[in-house]
Amino acid sequence: GQNIDQPTEMTATEGAIVQINCTYQTSGFNGLFWYQQHAGEAPTFLSYNVLDGLEEKGRFSSFLSRSKGYSYLLLKELQMKDSASYLCAVMDSNYQLIWGAGTKLIIKP
C-alpha cells in the first residue's frame, strides 16, 4: 500500500531552527508537496520538489531524496506565527496526491 509518515507533533523555540521529516512509499513519484495549515483554516502551499536536492524559499527550505523516499522541511528563525500543522503529500504515478497525517508544530517563546 501507499504510505506517508511524519512525526505527529514537534516543539521548538522561537528564533530556532526545526526540521520536519517525511518518508514515503508510493506507487510511482511525480513530486512532493509541503503545505502549512493553521488550526481550523485552509492548507496553503509551501513548496514542491520533484528533483533531488534542496529548494530554498526565504525562511523555509525543502529537501528531497527520491532514492531514500525522504523529504524534510526546514524552518529557520522560527516565529510564533509558524505554529501550525505541516502536511506532506506525494503525487503518485496516477497524479493522485497521497497525504501524510501532518505534523503539529508548537513554538514556545
Partner 1 sequence: DGGITQSPKYLFRKEGQNVTLSCEQNLNHDAMYWYRQDPGQGLRLIYYSQIVNDFQKGDIAEGYSVSREKKESFPLTVTSAQKNPTAFYLCASSKSGGSGANVLTFGAGSRLTVL
**48 in contact with partner 1 (CB under 8 A):** yes
Total residues in contact with partner 1, by rule CB under 8 A: 25
**41 in contact with partner 1 (CB under 8 A):** yes
The binder of partner 1 chosen from 16, 17, 50, 54 (CB under 8 A): 50
Which C-beta is closer to partner 1: that of 35 or that of 72? 35
Number of Cβ atoms within 10 Å of the Cβ of 66: 14
CA dihedral 73, 30, 4, 75 (to 10 degrees): 10
The binder of partner 1 chosen from 12, 75, 89, 105 (CB under 8 A): 89
The binder of partner 1 chosen from 73, 87, 105, 107 (CB under 8 A): 87
Shortest Cβ distance from residue 4 to partner 1 (Å)? 6
DSSP states along 8-59? SEEEEETTS-EEEEEEEE-SS-S-EEEEEE-TTS--EEEEEE-SSEEEEETT
N-to-C CA span, the chain: 40
Point out which residues bind partner 1 (CB under 8 A): 4, 8, 30-31, 33, 35, 40-45, 48, 50, 87, 89, 91, 95-102
